Chains A and B, each alone.
Chain A
Amino acid sequence: SQQGEEDPQALSIQEGENATMNCSYKTSINNLQWYRQNSGRGLVHLILIRSNEREKHSGRLRVTLDTSKKSSSLLITASRAADTASYFCATVPVGSGGSNYKLTFGKGTLLTVNP
Chain B
Amino acid sequence: EPEVTQTPSHQVTQMGQEVILRCVPISNHLYFYWYRQILGQKVEFLVSFYNNEISEKSEIFDDQFSVERPDGSNFTLKIRSTKLEDSAMYFCASSRGNQPQHFGDGTRLSIL
Chain A residues close to B by CB (< 8 Å): 30-31, 33, 35, 41-45, 48, 88, 90, 92, 96-108
Distance between A23 CB and nearest chain B CB, rounded to angstroms:
12
Verify A101–B97 contact, CB threshold 8 A. yes
Whether A44 pairs with B31 at a CB distance below 8 angstroms is no
> Which B residues fall within an 8 A CB radius of A?
4, 31, 33, 35, 41-45, 48, 50-51, 55-56, 91, 93, 95, 97-106
SS of B interface (majority): strand
Contact in complex: B103, A43 (CB < 8 Å): yes
Task: Provide the bound-state CA to CA distance between A98 and B91, in Å.
Answer: 22
By beta carbon, the residue of chain B nearest A43 is: B103
13 more CB-based (< 8 A) A-B contacts, given A33-B100, A98-B55, A103-B35 = A35-B103, A41-B105, A41-B106, A42-B106, A48-B99, A90-B43, A100-B31, A101-B95, A101-B101, A102-B33, A102-B56, A105-B43, A105-B44
